[in-house]
Structures are given as C-alpha cells and as structure tokens.
Chains A and B, each alone.
Chain A
Amino acid sequence: MAPSIETIGLTKRFGPFTALDNLNLKLEGSKCVGFLGPNGAGKTTTLKLLTDMIFPTSGDARVNGVSVRERRKEALADTGVLIETPEIYPSLTPTEALEMVADLRGVPAAERQDRIRTVLGEVKMTDWADQRVGRMSKGMKQRINIAAALVHDPSVLMLDEPSTGLDPRGMAEVRTIVRDLKQSRRLIFLSSHILSEVVDVCDEVALIDRGKLLFYDTLENVTARFSGGFTSVDVAFARPLAPEDVAQKIGTLPGVAGVQTLDPKRVRVRLNGGVEAQERLLEALAGLHLGAISIADSGSALEEIYLSQISRGD
C-alpha cells in the first residue's frame, strides 16, 4: 500500500539558495505528524511541492502513491490543503466558496449542503455562512480556509501553520479541530513553528532546518533520544518560595537534576528519569510542606530539543 505522503530526494533551489535539500520522508497511517522548523526552514516549500504549487529542482513528491508533478489532479483528489493563508474571492459567501470547492472536487450534490453545514459548524462560522468573505477578518477567513480543506472529508490533510492570524481562542479551537480530525481515519501533516501546538495535537514530529530533515520520529522516541533521560515538570505553589527553599530543599531532592524559578510561585524542575521520578518528586514535595498545589509536564522537552538541534546548525 502506497504511503499517504512520500518525498523522494526532494530538492528545491531558488537560484543559488537551496530551500529544500534531498528530503526523504514517508508518512503513512492514521495520525498527526508535526512538521517543525524555524521560519525559512523549508516547511512551506515542502507543502507547496506536495501540492504542485512550486516545482522540484530534483526528486519527487507523491500523495497516495501518485506523483503530484505528473498527475496533480489524481494526487490531490483525496487531499485537503491549507497553505499560506489563502484569500477567497471577496464577493462570495463562505457557503458559496465551499460550494465551489465541493463542486470542483466532485462532492455529490446530494451531500454537498450537509458537508458544508458540518464543516462550517466545525470551524464555528455558521453564523457568517451567508456574509460576503471580503468583509471578514483574517481569522474568519482562515476558518473558512480550514473548512475548505475539510469539505470533501479527505484522507490526507496538509495544514501549513493553520492557526496563523487567529487570536488565542481561535488557536485553541484550531487545535481542538485538528485533535477531533485525528479521530477520523486520516493522515494530518501539520506544519508549525509553535511547539506547544505540535506537542498538543501531534503523534509524531519531523524537524527541518535550512532545508534539511534533522529527524522524524514519534514524540516519545524523540524526547527519549534527545533529552538524555531527563524530564521537566512545572510545580506551582500556593505562596511565594524563598530562594533558599528552591536551592536547598527542592534542588537537593533525590532525582532532581536542576531547578529553575519561573516566578515566585512556580518552579521548573529537571528530573533524572521519567514518570517514576515525577511520582517520587510529588511525594517529596508533599513532605516538605512548601504549599505545592500542582505539578505538570512542562512541555519544554521538545522545546529544548528544538533549540539544541536548531542552534547546532548555526
């Protein structure tokens, strides 16, 4: 069975600048793959090559086993795409814009209106379904773009920084949408430079920098491979901590490799070990009576890996 997304020696040069360098990536199965990298790393270039918006200097991009360069129509038939905050024809309403997409994609007329209503509901645009797109904010347009990528219920979804232009609430809603989409059987390829977004919704992560793929693996494997067996947790306290309590009491607990004060009532603890180390820390903190009220994974592991891998290339 052909992979949902496959790049074979995919290279793109713009004059002397190499935007993507021999990318070999094979994504299959039903999951969300985060495509991480700083600005200019080659994320959008990869997605544009996968959708035939730009053409490879060498190599091939395939979707569902079909080369997008050779047979773009067939390759993109079962793919939902959102790249670079597209503009929609301003005189059309969201319903009309989605009708156009559904019509061009061959969604049968009998189910078209149902699908449009469903996806507009998913992106919370039902109330604006019949307003002209030209009068809408960037965030609202982006929601319609997401709806357009979903209207035909694709098996492969490529999203390029989908929360761009959205307010914090909109960003959270996009994450919820993507998480819900994972429950349907499909591959989601999510390009982002927002680490928390990737940690929140993705199962696997591919890190790219300066056009080169640095790694591609599950989040757990990546964390285990690059963190050297350490985990980080954020601990919140009911009252401010004295500096000596941080250094002498928390810093000397068994399994603690380091403590960083985030604010007077919060510290980030680096632990030597995984879940067991967290369990021991929780018990020890309770015994110290410092007013610990919560402990949570800091989510910083991927950030540390990201920064170390990206800075290595500097």
Chain B
Amino acid sequence: MAAEVGAARSVARKVPESFEQVTKLARYQLREYVRSRRFVALLVIVIAIGAILTVVLAHFRGLLVSDTAAFYGSFWGGAVDLIIILSAVFFGGDAIAGEFQNKTGYFLMGLPIRRGAVYAGKFLAAFLASVAILLIYLAILLLNGIYYFHANAFPWQLGVALVLALVYLAAVMGATFFFSSLFKISAYGFVLTAILFLFGFSLLADVATDLVKIEPWMIISYAESTIGSVFATNPNWGFTGVQTVAPIVGASWSAGIGEGIVIMIGYFLISALGGLWLFEREEFS
C-alpha cells in the first residue's frame, strides 16, 4: 500500500532535474552567504581598500594617474588577486568541509539530489558571492576612473581584465573546493588555499624561472599575472629575457592572455573535478 501511495505522489511531485536543483540550491546558498558575517567582513575589507585607494589617489594624483591603462593596471591588476583569493577562501573554504564539520550536510543529503548537484550549487553560490564582492571593488575603481579620466575611463583592456579576473576566480574557487573536499575540517582548507595562493605558487614560479630556468606555465600565479599585464602599453609575452639578482642569474617569462586563460581553465577543471570526485566518495560517517 505504501508503495502505491509513493508511486502516486511521485507522479504529482516530480523531483526537479539536476541542473534545476543546482540553480535552486545556489539561490538559497547565496542568500546564506550574503547574510553571513564573512560577507560583511569582505565588504568591509573591499570598501577599506577602495577608500585607501581613493585617498591615496587624491593625495598623489599627478604621480599615479598618468593614463587609464596605468591606473587600472595598478589598481585592478595589482589588487584584484588579493580580493579574489580572500573571497574564494571566505566563501569556498568551508563549502564542502563545513557540510561534514557543521553537520549541515545531514540536512541536504537526505534529499533526492545528486552529490554533484550539491557541489555545483554550492560552487555557483560561492562564485556569485565572490563576483558581488569583485563588482563592488570595480564600482569603487570606476568611480575614481570616471572622476579622473571622464569619458576615457573605460579602456578596452578593462573588459579583458575583468574576464581574466573571473576565470582566475573560477580557478581559485576550484582549488578551494578541492581542498575543502579533501578535508573534513574547514580550517585546513582555509589555511592551505590562503598559503598556496598568497605565497606558495609565487614562490614555486620563482623557483621555476630562477633556479630551473623553465617557463612556469604549470603555476597559476604565472597565469594570474595576465590580469595586470593586459594593461601594458607594449606587452611582451613569452620569454622576456635574463634577470640577474646576484648571485642568481634567472630567466623571465610573461604569460600571454590566451596562455593565461588556458592555464586558469586547466586549474579550474582539474581542481573542481578533483574536488567533486572526492566529495562523491566522502562518507557522512
């Protein structure tokens, strides 16, 4: 009898397709993020950075705002990576580990939803929350740009740099989700992502160029540098020469835009799919 009842209800209440569940879950998760203290904290950080930028620009106007490309190269290319890393860590650091550690996973995993849909929904929400933070920073930057450059405040490189930043965000978020899936304790994911992206990858890139003398195409920080280099007047991509910082005689490379995008997408795919693979196999034990 129960099975008959069940069959009848299944007809009336068709469980949404997985893609639809991803967007539904992302909507509620995004609401959770936007109301969280971490969102407020990031907002404060971004507004503080924006305020400092505005004050510094006002004070050193002649030195810092020679042209729009230099302006955005410094203040978008030079600062956005930090905001991206902080956003990814804040929103993605405990996205998966927290489901185990905080037991919120027990609320979700009893539902008729594939683990892949949970993972994708949470990823989408964390990505969108981070985009919101980036857009706030961009708005502050644009207000300054419009103030100083008027109609010339929107160079074409800014659009490219914005796309590069979003791809980089996807890559960092993918790595954050990977580490979050790897551990059942949120703090490990937070710390590992922050260390790797703030210092680790840059250090590895230096080792590759200065000691091993190879193009560090496998290091994401190399690809990330395109967000700033796109604003260069005469960009010099590929091998850019020998650098000597005694006693080290190193080499120097600069990633092209296409190369940077490929590297970042590679990082995103490998880490995000790796994280999903781990999450699919993780038990709520």
For the complex, what is the distance from the CA of A280 to the CA of B111, rounded to whole Å? 53
Partner of A156, one of B2, B105, B106, B283: B2
> Which residues of A sit under 8 angstroms from B284, Cβ to Cβ?
48, 53-54
B63 at interface, CB cutoff 8 A: no
For the complex, what is the distance from the CA of A26 to the CA of B25, rounded to whole Å? 34
Do A84 and B13 have beta carbons less than 8 Å apart? no
- Segment 75-106 of A: residues with Cβ below 8 Å from B: 75-92, 96-97, 99-101, 103-106
Do A87 and B104 have beta carbons less than 8 Å apart? yes
Partner of A86, one of B9, B104, B112, B114: B104
Closest to B16 in A: A106
The answer to whether A28 and B2 touch (CB under 8 A), given A72-B112, A72-B114, A92-B31, is yes
A9 at interface, CB cutoff 8 A: no
B61 at interface, CB cutoff 8 A: no
Do A85 and B112 have beta carbons less than 8 Å apart? no
For the complex, what is the distance from the CA of A262 to the CA of B2, rounded to whole Å? 43
A155 at interface, CB cutoff 8 A: yes
Interface segment among A146-154, A164-172, A200-208, A295-303: the answer is A146-154
Do A76 and B112 have beta carbons less than 8 Å apart? yes
A60 at interface, CB cutoff 8 A: no
For the complex, what is the distance from the CA of A55 to the CA of B285, rounded to whole Å? 10
Partner of B28, one of A100, A156, A186: A100
Partner of B103, one of A29, A54, A87, A101: A87
For the complex, what is the distance from the CA of A2 to the CA of B10, rounded to whole Å? 15
Do B3 and A3 have beta carbons less than 8 Å apart? yes
Do A100 and B35 have beta carbons less than 8 Å apart? no
Do A87 and B9 have beta carbons less than 8 Å apart? no
> Which residues of B sit under 8 angstroms from A153, Cβ to Cβ?
9
Partner of B10, one of A28, A77, A84, A148: A77
Do B283 and A53 have beta carbons less than 8 Å apart? yes
Do A64 and B3 have beta carbons less than 8 Å apart? yes
Give how many B residues have a beta carbon under 8 Å from the other chain's beta carbons: 39
Closest to A12 in B: B285
B66 at interface, CB cutoff 8 A: no
For the complex, what is the distance from the CA of A100 to the CA of B114, rounded to whole Å? 15
B15 at interface, CB cutoff 8 A: yes
> Which residues of A sit under 8 angstroms from B113, Cβ to Cβ?
73, 104
B32 at interface, CB cutoff 8 A: yes
B236 at interface, CB cutoff 8 A: no
B150 at interface, CB cutoff 8 A: no
B36 at interface, CB cutoff 8 A: yes
For the complex, what is the distance from the CA of A3 to the CA of B6, rounded to whole Å? 11
> Which residues of A sit under 8 angstroms from B246, Cβ to Cβ?
none
Type the 1/0 row for B18-39, where 1 means its CB is closer than 8 Å to any CB of A. 1001001100110110011000
Main secondary structure of the interface of A (DSSP, over half): loop
Do A88 and B107 have beta carbons less than 8 Å apart? yes
> Which residues of A sit under 8 angstroms from B2, Cβ to Cβ?
4, 28-30, 64, 155-156, 185-187
Do A2 and B3 have beta carbons less than 8 Å apart? yes
The answer to whether A81 and B110 touch (CB under 8 A), given A48-B285, A107-B13, A153-B9, is yes
Closest to A185 in B: B5
Point out which of A30, A78, A80, A187 has the most chain B C-beta atoms below 10 A from its C-beta. A78
Type the 1/0 row for A1-27, where 1 means its CB is closer than 8 Å to any CB of B. 111100000000010000000000000
Give the Cβ gap from A37 to chain B, nearest Cβ, in Å.
Answer: 18
Partner of A103, one of B5, B12, B24, B106: B24
For the complex, what is the distance from the CA of A306 to the CA of B16, rounded to whole Å? 44
The answer to whether A87 and B3 touch (CB under 8 A), given A77-B15, A96-B31, A100-B25, is no
For the complex, what is the distance from the CA of A106 to the CA of B107, rounded to whole Å? 16
Give the Cβ gap from A145 to chain B, nearest Cβ, in Å.
Answer: 7
Give the Cβ gap from A265 to chain B, nearest Cβ, in Å.
Answer: 45
Do B110 and A96 have beta carbons less than 8 Å apart? no
Give the Cβ gap from A4 to chain B, nearest Cβ, in Å.
Answer: 4
Give the Cβ gap from A153 to chain B, nearest Cβ, in Å.
Answer: 7
> Which residues of A sit under 8 angstroms from B102, Cβ to Cβ?
87
For the complex, what is the distance from the CA of A105 to the CA of B113, rounded to whole Å? 8
> Which residues of A sit under 8 angstroms from B29, Cβ to Cβ?
89
A191 at interface, CB cutoff 8 A: no
The answer to whether A104 and B21 touch (CB under 8 A), given A48-B285, A92-B32, A186-B5, is yes
Do B32 and A89 have beta carbons less than 8 Å apart? yes
**A–B complex contacts, Cβ < 8 Å, 30 sampled:** A2-B3, A3-B3, A4-B3, A14-B285, A53-B105, A53-B106, A53-B283, A64-B2, A64-B3, A64-B6, A72-B112, A73-B18, A75-B112, A76-B112, A77-B10, A77-B15, A83-B110, A87-B103, A89-B107, A91-B36, A103-B16, A104-B21, A104-B24, A104-B111, A152-B9, A152-B13, A153-B9, A155-B9, A185-B5, A186-B5
User: Closest 5 interchain pairs by CB?
Assistant: A81-B110, A86-B106, A155-B6, A91-B35, A86-B107
Chain A interfacial positions (CB closer than 8 Å to B) = 1-4, 14, 28-30, 48, 51-55, 64-65, 72-92, 96-97, 99-101, 103-108, 145, 148-149, 152-156, 185-187
